[in-house]
Every structure is written in C-alpha cells, then in structure tokens.
Amino acid sequence: MTIANRKQREKEEMRQLILSAARSLFLEKGYYDTSIRNIAEKIEYSPGTIYLYFKEKDEIFHSLHEEGFRKLTAVMLPLQHVEDPFERLKALGKVYMDFAMNNKDFYDLMFIMQAPMNLEEEDCWEEGDKALDFLKIVIRECQDRGRFQGQDIEYLSFFIWSSMHGMCALYCRDRCNAYKHHNHLNLLNNGYKIFAQMLDKM
C-alpha cells in the first residue's frame, strides 16, 4: 500500500509542478505564446514527459480553469454569512472585482480566453455554475425583501455579472489604456462605486 500511495502522491506532485510552471508562463507570455517545450524547460524535464501527465496542452489549460473557479468560490463562500442579501450582493461584486485584479491570469483564463472549450461541454462548468448560482440566489433573496421587483432573475443576474465583468475584462485586456491619464485600479474602484450606487437606485 505504502509504495503505491507514494507513487500516486509523486504523480500528483509532478502534475502540480507542471501546472504551476504552466500557470506562471501563461501569465507571463499568454497561452498561445507558451510552448510545451517552454514548460518542460522550466521544470527541467523533457517535452515528452509532459504528455505522461496531460493528454494535450488544452488539458493543462483545463486544469488551471478548474483551479481558478475553486479559488473564486473560496472567496465567495464566506459571504454566505452576510445577513442582508443586498449587502451580500454588493460585497459579492467587490469580491469578484478584487479576484480579477489579484488574479488577472486566472480571471482571463476563466472568463476571457478563447481556448479549448472543446473539452468543457459537461464537467468543466460545474464549478462555474456554483458561482453563478450564488449570484442568482442572492438576487432572489433581495427580491424576497422587496428589491428588484418585476425583474427576471436570469436576465438581471446576467446584467449584473456583465457590469462587473466588463470592467474586469477591459482591465485584463489592457483596454483601460483608452483612459490615458487614469490609473487603472482607480478606474475600477470608482467603477465599482458607481455599480453599487446603481444597484441602490434600481
């Protein structure tokens, strides 16, 4: 038992080694400009070795995608303890935006990158669905307390998500440069303030 366990543990460690090398390279150079050879070189293994742990380059991406959603749900779940659903909604926006700013690479991976969506038909979005459900539930509870009356939860959640995503996406893909004389983080923080005001008045 012990040896088989160790083998399995080593296998998992190797996967993690590859993933962390890939993640830092994807962050640095982007998905398409990072080669398998780059990753192999970084961890001082041969290119072929990567393929003993991942079927293809896309699968590395896929793994990081899942990791990203685990990270996101991890920072979202504590908000369950915020009693007032409207406060929870606003806090959710903040947490979401902070996640994007603090994990630019993961955010890009999860919500922007055009990448191997061939795989992720079924399984991959499980974690993503959780996050979206969290938003919908908050909105529903807001409605129970009289807010957002007459709005369809599906469409409203889409719009609220989009408002936040829009800012994060412009940030991640450097389109904030359009505001030449503004600090990007300032743009986002003030954008969030307007977002919160907007929710208040809806």
Quote the DSSP letter at residue 82.
Answer: -
> Would you say 53 or 62 has its CB closer to its own copies?
62
CB atoms within 10 A of CB 154: 10
Distance, in Å, from the CA atom of 89 to the CA atom of 199, rounded to the nearest integer, reads 9
- Per CB under 8 A, which region of 10-18, 54-62, 113-121, 138-146 contacts its own copies? 113-121
> Would you say 47 or 166 has its CB closer to DNA?
47
Quote the DSSP letter at residue 42.
Answer: H
Please, what is the minimum distance in Å from the beta carbon of residue 25 to its own copies?
Answer: 15
Please, what is the minimum distance in Å from the beta carbon of residue 3 to DNA?
Answer: 4
Distance, in Å, from the CA atom of 36 to the CA atom of 81, rounded to the nearest integer, reads 43
Query: Which 3 state secondary structure label does DSSP give 202?
Result: coil
173 near its own copies (CB under 8 A): yes
158 near its own copies (CB under 8 A): yes
Give the residue, chosen from 16, 80, 177, 183, that forms a contact with its own copies under the rule CB under 8 A: 177
Distances (CA, A) of 167 to 19, 25, 156: 28, 25, 17
74 near its own copies (CB under 8 A): no
Partner touching 7 among its own copies, DNA, none, CB below 5 to 8 Å by kind: DNA
